[in-house]
Structure 1
Amino acid sequence: MIGTLYFFALLGSTVAWGGAGLWSERNVRNETSGGSGDRCTCDAFLPSSTFPIRDLVVVEQTVGEISHKLDLEMGKLEDYEIKLTAYAEKIIQLTVEIEKMEKDPDAYNEAQMDEMKVEIKQVEALIKELQLSIRGSTTVFESLRVQITAIEVTLNRLEVTYDKNTVLLTRREYIKVQLQLEECERRHQELFNPNIGSCAHTGIIKVSKPIVSQLNAHLNSGYKFGGWGKDSKPVPDRESMYWYSGYTSGSIVDIRFYTNYKNLILRNHFQHHNLHSSWIGTGNNFIIRANTLYYQINSPFGLAKLNFTTMKYESRVIPGTSTKFSYTNSPNQNFDFAADETGLWVTYATEESSGRMIIAKINEPSFGVEEEWETSVYKPGVSNAFVVCGVLYAVRTVDIQTEEIFYKYDTKTKQESYLRVPFERFQDKYSNLDYNPTDQKLYMYNDGYYVNYHLWFNHTTKATVAPPLLLN
């Protein structure tokens, strides 16, 4: 395909493949030869703007290079898996031997103790070597993500400015490597972060670089309001489903569902629900949980839920809640729904709380408030918030490209504290930020783009077997 692209580049102009009306045929009387015959001529109508074919060639070459690197990384992951299994078996053996020694130390002589220390040191050396390899793979993934983000920006520019059909074949190849990277990262996470679903940690310690998936399904960065992500408590057969809802204003009028990540990227939805006129909502911090949309309504001002399995609609009013307090850069986000490992939450502020954020735990079947906690953080000073393992995390804007998780409130202990965990935005403003417990990622709707982040936690216990300590 690249050879074909260069051929068009040599012409100085490129026509849109499959485009209509670029060529016309006509028969002309051959009068120079006495009118005894006809000749066929073709007129080419080239577009007025030249398609930047070299940009597309560079993208294709980069996609090929990324695919090759990912093949190598997938091979490394398979090697890591084999080594981890062997190391775990060796650690279990050593642990059994150490327990025997501790129970009956007199039964072992000094030579046997020294031999055990040597074996432990050997395993520790192997683990350190593996850790270095793992860090190397993580660095490679981060580097490839940067390249893929740049490719996404280029393809979107070419699709919007020039011709979508011309870019289509290249985008399909791009989607393949994007899915390949997603699979590599998923395998990597399963091997080295098997704690998904666990709350045995003391909180967030790091946020990854922004992972840009796509410009929205409308292919329009003007759709600045909305959200996207995964169901935080998926019903059977919808575990891989994604959703998207975006608008040019703060209203919530419809939502699209995609069977998996690939179809999200291809903008190929399998369901598109338009909300009934009396169910239309507002604001941007809505979520999908158990195939149900939870969102804010203004008439009456309160909470709403719409179950897409039964199409049953419900609404609730929480007395005292105020329309005066929203996030810094997002009007009408008075209620902010969140979901974590422990259930469903909503945050808001009241006149009585003087604009300080209140956390409420929602009973999903009854759609009522079970318990409330008042924090000391002023909501208009917060750019967004989310909940992880019963802990509220508040975010604020630091500068034109940086956000910071700066505050947390633990509903279990009723303790609050300040922290500094910075992370990068892809575009200037965002309207939706939510945590999903099924993959421990943050999902952001950032000026029309689908963006997500990996999270790192300070785990207090490990799901894998830890190496034994050296004997004294």
Structure 2
Amino acid sequence: MKLCVIIPLCALITLTQQAPTQDQCLCDLTNSEKAFPHDKLSTVEDNASKCNSNITPKKTLELESLMLGLERRLPQMEKDLSVLEREDDGELYGVLSLLVIENELTEIKQLMDKLNMTSRRHQHLTTDTTEQLEDLRVKMAELQEYDTLQVVKRQQANQRLKRDLDQCKNEHHPTPHPTQPPQGICPHGKFVNITGPGVYTAGEYPGSYKYGAWGRDPKPAVGKENWYWLVMLTSSNRYSNYVRLYSSLSSLIVGVSVPGNVQIHSSNPTTNTVQGPNVVLYGDALYYNCYNKYDVCRFNLSTKTVTTMQLPKGTRFNSKGNFCHLDECYLYTDLDLATDESGVWVIYTTSQDFGNLVLSKVEEGEQPKLNQTWHTSVYKQAVTNTFMACGVLYATRYVNKEVEEIFYSFDTSTGVEKFDIGIFIRKMSPNIYSLNYSPVDQMLHAYCDSFMVSYEVLFE
């Protein structure tokens, strides 16, 4: 019975497929909507991308840095003039003071010229960008006419509702302050945050020297209170044989080095020259990792002499105990020198400590030596940088290309460690190769991919 039904059906299908089609039905589809102009949308996207690349935070900071340099330079000029008026003897002293003031005027003029040039460039950029944005606004309004289903309008309404909802939540649940590290006796109070950057400059050699360090001397010699120093690793991004000095912040920003270089040795590298970017200047002497040794060298800028201080046996050196993050290790950062209100510190690691950070206080004197030493439980290669402030060691880690986090602290007065500091640094370049805290003005000086950047350290 079933077989009889199946056979006629198969035959019917076969006959139907073979039968020629006698009638054909054709339909014309008429679209009343205008064709979407994809080429116009592509042009708008390209123009928007150009606007984003032209207007960057770096350009704003360039102008702010120049303004800051001028702001700090003018009061110094006024101070020097008042001293001259008060103490001018009409003879040699007056001549020398006038020469100093003449040099300061030259530096201020160079700073103002650069400021005027930068301002004009920014004005042209602002005008051009305003015109481009207006053109983009008109074109986007034209393209929105093709949104017959009003998808864009609904998305914009949803975004407004989400923004209002977030604002309402934040009003009822304020953002908590980051956990603060325990503090010893600090004249400024508790360390609470980092703001900035305040200074952002390429200096004299834009993009030339990737690794380096800069800052101020917390214990300057007489007459050098306003000086800044710079050490660039000029040989293979590993070594240097001189420190470069600037008579003011504005001089550093515009790239006028007076008095210039103070040379450690004519060869680079060689015995007792600089290895690695983590150096500091304290008491008119440069402290750094000696070339090819696990020693700390101290180079006296006045006498041009070098004294060395040996670290414990097993100290890792020659790029065996670097600062690191997941994607990169910073070469020859085995030893990190730091300064704070109390003097010079050295941060390193040893085989005995299984790679954890070790902190030692440097005792000053004719022959520097290690004083008290502390052992921490934070692994050095999980850290990207360290600095000291008020006897507390702080460590940073890499979050992403834009952000660095101060995540760890060790208080030498109590021995208490904290791993949840949660203070963030807004970076201007992906990598910070050195961090130096200046107790003179509570600034944090960072050297980032050949750029010099400073941040203000805020205390409660």
Task: Report the TM range for the smaller structure's normalisation.
Answer: 0.5 to 0.7
**RMSD over equivalenced CA pairs, Å:** 3.1
Greater mean deviation of Cα atoms: 265-274 or 400-409: 265-274
Structure 1 pair 171–201 and aligned structure 2 pair: CA distance change class (3 A): closer
Instruction: Provide the residue aligned with 1:301 in structure 2.
Output: 294
Instruction: Provide the residue aligned with 2:323 in structure 1.
Output: 327
1:203 lines up with 2:146 in the alignment? no
Where in structure 1 are there 5+ consecutive unaligned residues? 1-53, 75-166, 178-197, 459-472
Output the amino acid matched with 1:255: V
The structure 2 residue matched to 1:316, chosen from 309, 316, 321, is 309
Instruction: Provide the residue aligned with 2:134 in structure 1.
Output: none
The structure 2 residue matched to 1:173, chosen from 116, 120, 141, is 116
1:231 lines up with 2:227 in the alignment? no
Instruction: Provide the residue aligned with 1:37 in structure 2.
Output: none
Greater mean deviation of Cα atoms: 321-330 or 199-208: 199-208
Structure 1 pair 199–352 and aligned structure 2 pair: CA distance change class (3 A): same
- Superposed CA offset, 1:379-408 (max 9, x none): 000000001111000111111210011010
1:271 lines up with 2:260 in the alignment? yes
How many angstroms apart in 1 are the aligned matches of 2:253 and 2:63? Answer: 16
Instruction: Provide the residue aligned with 1:282 in structure 2.
Output: 275
Q: CA deviation at 1:175?
A: 8.7
1:216 lines up with 2:228 in the alignment? no
Output the amino acid matched with 1:392: L
Q: CA deviation at 1:216?
A: 2.9
- Superposed CA offset, 1:76-115 (max 9, x none): xxxxxxxxxxxxxxxxxxxxxxxxxxxxxxxxxxxxxxxx
Instruction: Provide the residue aligned with 1:243 in structure 2.
Output: 229
Instruction: Provide the residue aligned with 2:352 in structure 1.
Output: 352
Output the amino acid matched with 1:309: S
Q: Is the 8 A contact 1:222 1:447 kept in 2?
A: no
How many angstroms apart in 1 are the aligned matches of 2:298 and 2:412? Answer: 24
How many angstroms apart in 2 are the aligned matches of 1:396 and 1:232? Answer: 26
Q: Is the 8 A contact 2:63 2:118 kept in 1?
A: no
Instruction: Provide the residue aligned with 2:451 in structure 1.
Output: 449
- Superposed CA offset, 1:281-300 (max 9, x none): 21111011111100001333
Structure 1 pair 441–397 and aligned structure 2 pair: CA distance change class (3 A): same
Structure 1 pair 202–241 and aligned structure 2 pair: CA distance change class (3 A): closer
Q: Secondary structure at the match of 2:422?
A: strand
Q: Secondary structure at the match of 2:446?
A: strand
Structure 1 pair 389–305 and aligned structure 2 pair: CA distance change class (3 A): same
Q: Is the 8 A contact 1:175 1:265 kept in 2?
A: no
How many angstroms apart in 1 are the aligned matches of 2:117 and 2:272? Answer: 38
Q: Is the 8 A contact 2:357 2:376 kept in 1?
A: yes
How many angstroms apart in 2 are the aligned matches of 1:174 and 1:395? Answer: 37
- Superposed CA offset, 1:428-467 (max 9, x none): 1121111010001100011111100001123xxxxxxxxx
Output the amino acid matched with 1:337: L
Aligned residues: 283
Output the amino acid matched with 1:228: W
Query: Structure 1 or 2: larger strand share?
Result: 1
Output the amino acid matched with 1:435: Y
Instruction: Provide the residue aligned with 2:247 in structure 1.
Output: 259
Greater mean deviation of Cα atoms: 434-443 or 299-308: 299-308
How many angstroms apart in 1 are the aligned matches of 2:300 and 2:435? Answer: 22
Instruction: Provide the residue aligned with 1:401 in structure 2.
Output: 402
TM-score (norm 2): 0.57
Instruction: Provide the residue aligned with 2:439 in structure 1.
Output: 437
Output the amino acid matched with 1:267: G
TM-score (norm 1): 0.56
Q: CA deviation at 1:169?
A: 7.5
Q: CA deviation at 1:266?
A: 2.5
Q: Is the 8 A contact 2:240 2:273 kept in 1?
A: yes
Where in structure 2 are there 5+ consecutive unaligned residues? 1-53, 75-109, 121-184
Greater mean deviation of Cα atoms: 318-327 or 359-368: 318-327
Identity of aligned residues (%): 29
- Superposed CA offset, 1:30-74 (max 9, x none): xxxxxxxxxxxxxxxxxxxxxxxx99xxx99x979x98xx99xx9
Q: Is the 8 A contact 2:63 2:119 kept in 1?
A: no
Q: CA deviation at 1:176?
A: 11
Instruction: Provide the residue aligned with 1:364 in structure 2.
Output: 364
Q: Secondary structure at the match of 2:279?
A: strand
Q: Is the 8 A contact 1:226 1:250 kept in 2?
A: no
Q: CA deviation at 1:201?
A: 5.6
Task: Mark the structure with the bigger radius of gyration.
Answer: 2
1:425 lines up with 2:413 in the alignment? no
The structure 2 residue matched to 1:291, chosen from 260, 278, 284, is 284
Output the amino acid matched with 2:217: D
Q: CA deviation at 1:174?
A: 6.3
Q: Secondary structure at the match of 1:265?
A: helix
